[in-house]
Structure 1
Amino acid sequence: MTLVLTHSDILSVLDRHEVRKAVEQAHAGLATGERANPAPSAIALPESGTALPMATGGRGMVAVKLLCDVPANRDRGLPTQRSTIMVSSAITGESLAILDGRAITAIRTAAASAVATDHLARQSASILGMIGAGNLAVEHAFAIAAVRDITRIAVWSRSAATIDSFRSATATLGIPVESAGSPEDALAVSDIVCTLTPSRQPIVRGVSFRPGQHVNAVGAPPRADHREVDGIGMQRAKVVVDSFPTSMAKSGGVLLAISEGFITEDDARTELGDVIVGKAAGRTSDADITLYESVGIGLQDLAAAELVIEHATARGIGTSINLSE
């Protein structure tokens, strides 16, 4: 039987703390060879769209997340990114579950940034900067506040209304939220910075990075010509990626900085899992600038999906279908 889980089904069982721990363990498993996550190959869609089949496996399960990035949906009033996750048994090949990808993608993305922050940011880091204030920023506020004692959040957005919505959505954290006049203003006061915009051109300049800062570069779509951080920023920082093969396939931040001569491939080889298990160094001093280049990998989706399937099955949530009939 195949368990089909909708967006609302998934929201009812997802737990941010559990997802963060699962994502951390998954990245550690990737570093030790217990998990697999090959680089995806993009499929061109009409109207400059892209489809990415993201395959991954480990712990008795294999999964494929099909991510469709459709810029034209913005004019249709529809989400520009949509995804579906299919999970199968690695032993029998049986289809175990089909899951909507929206909630899992947002929460596992923020969880991965929190894991990176926990391993790369200074222990004393207390001011969080947000470049962008949408739903993903809300998830990041909760995720980062779980790994550092955040006392203030500085948020920049082109829309004052979006900042107001962010403030309301994060009110339960009890952390003061202030508006920043520009991305540079947010960088100037923040110990930890999350860039969360679908930018094609750099919205953050490396000349504004301060010693000791940690940056999570998250928002750019998984395309080789999109980035939020310029080449100087990549050059000044110790860069850590979620997956080197995936970054070399779809991280504009990495690929453009290499093509411009600011960094080399070797500068982008350190994976988050390597830092977690101690195979590679992350931050080595309080003065280091560290940057986590988050392009997103299917392994993170599978780590969250495993939890969702377990909890949904135990609570009788979702719809079971016999696909073999």
Structure 2
Amino acid sequence: MVRILTRSDVRSLISMDEVIDAVQKAHEDLTLGRADQPERHAARTPGTDAHLIPMTAALADGQAGGVKLLADVPANPARELPRQQSTIVLVNPENGVCEAFLDGGAITQYRTAAASAVATRCLARPDAHVLGLIGAGAQARSHLAAIAQVRPIDRVLVWSRTEASARAFRDAVADSGLNIELAGSPEQVVRGSDVLCTLTPAATPVVSGRWFGEGLHVNAVGAPPRRDHREIDSEGIARARVVVDSLDTALAESGAVSIALEEGAITVDHVRDELGEVLTGAKPGRRDDAQITLFNSVGVPIQDIATARILVDRARDKGIGIEISLPE
């Protein structure tokens, strides 16, 4: 039987601390050769500016395999739909049987923040306590929840293009007990932060590297997987020690990396370090308290499949979701 989990099902089952641990193990297993994640290619849909991106991964020890189909549709916000939508198919790799279909929206939100938390745990200063958020949407809320689990956050600076969005974020997290401050500009957020998360679908930079202070850790998250979109300028990429979630993915789909390379601000060697290599000790973490570090997060399917595995097991135990038989 195939289990179908809706977005509300996923939200009722998911736990940030579990996702953080699952994402970390998935990256470690990938680096150690225990899991697999082939290179992906986007399909451009004729007559539109949409991209369809199939993302395949297989977990260690035959736990699960699957595909996430991501649709990046720039025209959707005008239709009052999310720019990015996704669906995940989970498969038993031992027999090829489909186990589940899951809405990918909430999974993407959690696993993206979890990856930032994993990177923050191994790259940010241990005493980092001020979190900066550029963008105030759903990812801002999930990143606050995730980063607060790995660093002693007590103050949050947030900026959004609209003050209403920033105020809505502050109201949504009012019970966190943290000092939430609305900033007047991205520069104010960057200069005042120990850990910075950029969470906007920007096509052109909203953050300048000249604002980076000593010891800053950046999670560059929001830009869509397109080579002409970036939130952080080339100076920011060049000034930071960069760690990527996947080198192949960063070179193919990260505008921050691609444009910095095209402008001659960096070479490929500047972005060769992958998160899994840092986690397993194959590459070093933070060098010292003054170093600027940056995690370039495009998003990879090993994170989605690891999260989906947890959810499907829990849904089965709790009897949540709809079961259907596809062969009938």
Q: Same fold (TM over 0.5)?
A: yes
Alpha-carbon offset, residue 219 of structure 1: 0.3
The answer to whether residue 23 in structure 2 is matched with residue 20 in structure 1 is no
The separation in 2 between residues aligned to 1:322 and 1:292, in whole angstroms, is: 42
Aligned residue pairs total 325
Could you tell me which of 287, 311, 315 is aligned with 1:312?
315
- Could you tell me the TM-score, scaled by structure 1's length? 0.99
Q: Equivalent residue of 2:102, what SS?
A: strand
The 2-side partners of 1:36 and 1:257 are apart by: 28
Which residue number in structure 1 is paired with residue 257 of structure 2?
A: 254
Does the Cα contact within 8 Å between 2:120 and 2:217 map onto a contact in 1? yes
Offset of residue 182 of structure 1: 0.7
- Percent of aligned pairs with the same amino acid: 50
Residue 75 of structure 1 deviates from its aligned partner by 1.2
Shift of residue 40 of structure 1? 1.2
Give the conservation status (yes or no) of the 8 Å contact 2:124–2:286. yes
Distance in 1 between residues matched to 2:59 and 2:112, nearest whole Å: 19
Residue in structure 1 matching 2:295, options 264, 289, 292: 292
- Of residues 190, 193, 205, the one that matches 2:208 is 205
Cα deviation, residue 266, structure 1: 1.4
Alignment of 1:172-211 (within 5 A): 172-211=175-214
Give runs of aligned pairs for residues 53-132 of structure 1, distance below 5 A.
53-59=54-60, 60=62, 61-132=64-135
In the TM superposition, residue 156 of structure 1 has moved relative to its aligned partner by 0.8
Partner of 1:47: 48
Task: Confirm or deny: 8 A CA contact 1:20 1:111 kept in the other structure.
Answer: yes
Conservation of the 8 A alpha-carbon contact between 1:240 and 1:282:
no
Using the TM superposition, give the Cα deviation of residue 264 of structure 1 relative to its aligned residue in structure 2, in angstroms: 1.1
Q: Aligned equivalents of 2:37 and 2:265: distance in 1?
A: 27
CA deviation string 1:244-275 (max 9, x = no partner): 11111111111111111111111111000100
Question: Is the Cα–Cα contact under 8 Å of residues 85 and 105 in structure 2 kept in the other structure?
Answer: yes
**2:6 matches 1:6:** yes
1:34-91 residue CA offsets vs partner (Å, 9 max, x unmatched)? 1111221010024211110001112312111000000111111111111000011111
Is the Cα contact below 8 Å between 2:237 and 2:260 reproduced in 1?
Answer: yes
Asked whether the equivalents of residues 159 and 166 of structure 2 are also in contact (C-alpha less than 8 Å), the reply is: yes
> Separation in 1 of the partners of 2:171 and 2:306?
29
SS in 1 for 2:250: helix
1:324 offset after TM fit, Å?
1.1
CA distance in 2, matches of 1:145, 1:215: 15
Partner secondary structure for residue 280 of structure 1: coil
Question: What RMSD in Å do the two structures reach over aligned CA positions?
Answer: 0.8
**Counterpart residue identity of residue 64, structure 1:** V
Find runs of 4+ consecutive structure 1 residues off by over 3 angstroms: none
* Uncovered stretches (5+) of structure 2, i.e. residues with no partner: none
The answer on whether the counterparts of 1:142 and 1:170 sit within 8 Å (CA) in structure 2 is: no
Deviation at 1:302, TM superposition (A): 0.5
Farther-moved stretch of structure 1 (5-14 vs 158-167)? 158-167
> CA deviation digits over 1:128-151, x for unaligned, max 9?
001111111010001001111111
Q: Distance in 2 between matches of 1:169 and 1:22?
A: 27
- In structure 1, the partner of 2:326 is 323
Alpha-carbon distance, 1:171 to partner: 2.0
Greater alpha carbon shift after TM alignment, 43-52 vs 146-155:
43-52
| C-alpha distance after superposition, 1:157-201 (max 9, x if no partner) | 111111111112222321011111111110111000000000000
Equivalence for 2:147: 144
Q: Is the 8 A contact 2:167 2:182 kept in 1?
A: no
What is the alpha-carbon distance in structure 2 between the residues aligned to residue 102 and residue 40 of structure 1?
A: 20
Q: Distance in 2 between the 1:190 and 1:198 partners?
A: 21
Partner deviation per Cα, 1:210-240 (whole Å, 9 max, x = no partner): 1100000000001111011111111100000
Task: Give the conservation status (yes or no) of the 8 Å contact 1:132–1:156.
Answer: yes
**8 Å Cα contact 1:239-1:270 kept in structure 2:** yes
Look up the SS of the partner of 1:210 in the other structure.
coil
Q: Secondary structure at the match of 1:86?
A: strand
Q: Which amino acid aligns with 1:276?
A: L
